[in-house]
Structure formats: structure tokens, C-alpha cells
């Protein structure tokens, strides 16, 4: 007896899981995750006015605003702004990690952390 040949109608279509992706509205970088592993949002990304912004662009904005402010002194203002941004974004992170992100010493981070705590912007 000959074997029956399966046709497209005989085979159930495979439901491929869809991936989930985000695109930064500033730099156009995109990130994708498999549907079964997709986070609520990519780590460090935020949604502003219905537009996604990646962590890199957030950092750039903060540093650019600091550099264009009154009394701005170049890299020092940018570094200070980046340290504050990182401390407020991830307050439980160690001074070593924040220093690496801001490309500065841990002493600078300790001073910035203390200043934010004293100003009431950061919990002890």
C-alpha cells in the first residue's frame, strides 16, 4: 500500500513566537528579544511622550544639558551630571560601578553621593 503524501492542508501551521523589539527615537538603535524572554522594557530604556529613549541617549542628554548650562566647565560639568544621573537611576549600585560608568574616581562618586543625600535627592 503506498504511503499517503501530506499536503499543506494536512499539516497544522507552526505558530512561531514573535519577537519583541524597541527602537530609540533619538539614535535609531534597536533591541529585540524573543517573545518568551521579552522584558517589560529594555534595561535602562525609558518612554517619554510615547517615544522610547535608550540609556546611551539619556546619558548624552544629561551631559549635553550640563555642558550648555551657566558656569559649565567642560568635562567636569559633564562628569558631575553623569554621576548624578547614574546615582539617581541606580542608587543601590556601588561607587566602583558608578565611577566606571562616569569615568572618574570612586572619591568623586562618594562626594557626589553625599551631596545628593544631604540635598534630600537620594536616600541614605
Find out whether 19 and 35 touch, Cβ atoms under 8 Å: yes
pTM for this prediction: 0.78
Cα 104 to Cα 86: distance, rounded to the nearest angstrom: 12
Instruction: Tell the burial category of 86 from Cβ atoms under 10 Å away from its Cβ (0-12, 13-18, 19+).
Output: buried
Q: Return the residue matching grid coordinates 499539516.
A: 11
Which DSSP letter does residue 114 get?
A: H
Mean pLDDT of the 96-105 span: 96
- pLDDT band with cut points at 50, 70 and 90 for residue 99: very high
**pLDDT, tens digit (0-9, with 9 covering 90-100), for 30-71:** 999 998 888 999 999 999 999 999 999 999 999 999 988 776
Cα 81 to Cα 99: distance, rounded to the nearest angstrom: 12
* Model pLDDT, residue 13: 54
Amino acid at each position: 500500500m503506498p504511503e499517503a503524501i501530506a499536503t499543506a492542508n494536512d499539516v497544522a501551521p507552526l505558530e512561531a513566537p514573535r519577537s519583541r523589539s524597541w527602537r530609540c527615537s533619538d539614535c535609531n538603535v534597536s533591541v529585540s528579544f524573543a517573545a518568551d524572554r521579552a522584558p517589560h522594557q529594555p534595561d535602562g530604556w525609558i518612554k517619554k511622550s510615547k517615544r522610547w529613549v535608550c540609556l546611551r541617549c539619556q546619558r548624552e542628554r544629561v551631559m549635553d544639558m550640563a555642558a550648555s548650562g551657566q558656569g559649565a566647565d567642560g568635562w567636569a560639568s559633564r562628569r558631575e551630571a553623569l554621576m548624578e544621573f547614574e546615582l539617581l537611576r541606580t542608587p543601590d549600585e556601588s561607587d566602583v560601578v558608578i565611577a566606571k560608568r562616569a569615568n572618574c574616581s570612586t572619591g568623586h562618586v562618594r562626594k557626589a553621593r553625599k551631596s545628593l543625600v544631604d540635598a534630600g535627592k537620594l536616600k541614605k
